[in-house]
Amino acid sequence: MRNKIIEMRGIVKSYYLGTPNELEILHGIDLDVYEGEFLSIVGASGSGKSTLMNILGALDRPTKGHYYLDHLPMENVRDDGLSQIRNKKIGFVFQTFNLIPRSTALKNVALPMLYGGIPRSERSRRAAELLQLVEMSGRSHHRPNELSGGQKQRVAIARAMANDPAIILADEPTGALDTHTGRLVMDIFHRLHQEQGKTIILITHNVELAEETERTIRLRDGSIVDNRMNGHYQLEGCYESV
């Protein structure tokens, strides 16, 4: 039995725009993600993708339902607790990179370790190592505005890896990149998945990219409408369900 990294049961997220105008975005999501999986979540805009990602990433709390991340129940966790969970368990990769503009690539990569309380020398050492992993060693002392989009995203991926998180949560990581650069970024994800056995959740509306992953979850209007193994992974998937 593979280790269940994420277990979601009946996740509901509603926004109250003043009663009785309650707006339910997610209508009871059940989702399991296993360690080492490369999963994609697809859906049109307004499908609840972002809301689901915020909950998966411990940026937000569900209104109802249970969420276990790496076997930790996420109910009743205070703000500081969520910060800590984000810091240790989750690596974010954003569409717009979200690097700190004033800091060098190296410092950006070291940032999650700073908040994780890792000593300075260890931070620099590991940040340099991670930049090497994404082939960005040569630019470690450049600021984000001196880097191309693809380079920024590689730095962001290195940063997501900083505290060796349980999952990497990539929200449209190629959305702001051209096809060629996007390809390079996707290759890095595949490499992390294959070589390091990282659990990766890719959130995208690009069906082609989603096809590359092991399993695709399709969201529509706040519910999961499809959950299947992709292409050459299908065999393996069927094997598992037996």
Binding site for other proteins (CB under 8 A): 54, 57, 59-60, 79-80, 83-84, 86-88, 92, 94, 98-103, 111-112, 114-117, 120, 159, 163
* Shortest reach from residue 86's CB to other proteins, in Å: 5
- Measured from the CB atom, is 33 or 109 closer to other proteins? 109
- Measured from the CB atom, is 98 or 230 closer to other proteins? 98
- Measured from the CB atom, is 43 or 57 closer to other proteins? 57
* Shortest reach from residue 50's CB to other proteins, in Å: 9
* Shortest reach from residue 237's CB to other proteins, in Å: 32
| CA-CA-CA-CA dihedral for 236, 221, 58, 42, to nearest 10 | 40
206 CB contacts (<8 Å, ≥6 apart)?
A: 42, 174
* Shortest reach from residue 24's CB to other proteins, in Å: 18
- Measured from the CB atom, is 165 or 182 closer to other proteins? 165
- Measured from the CB atom, is 32 or 60 closer to other proteins? 60
3-class DSSP state of 130: helix
* Shortest reach from residue 208's CB to other proteins, in Å: 27
Q: Which of 195, 204, 203 is nearest to 133 (CA)?
A: 195
- Measured from the CB atom, is 159 or 198 closer to other proteins? 159
* Shortest reach from residue 143's CB to other proteins, in Å: 10
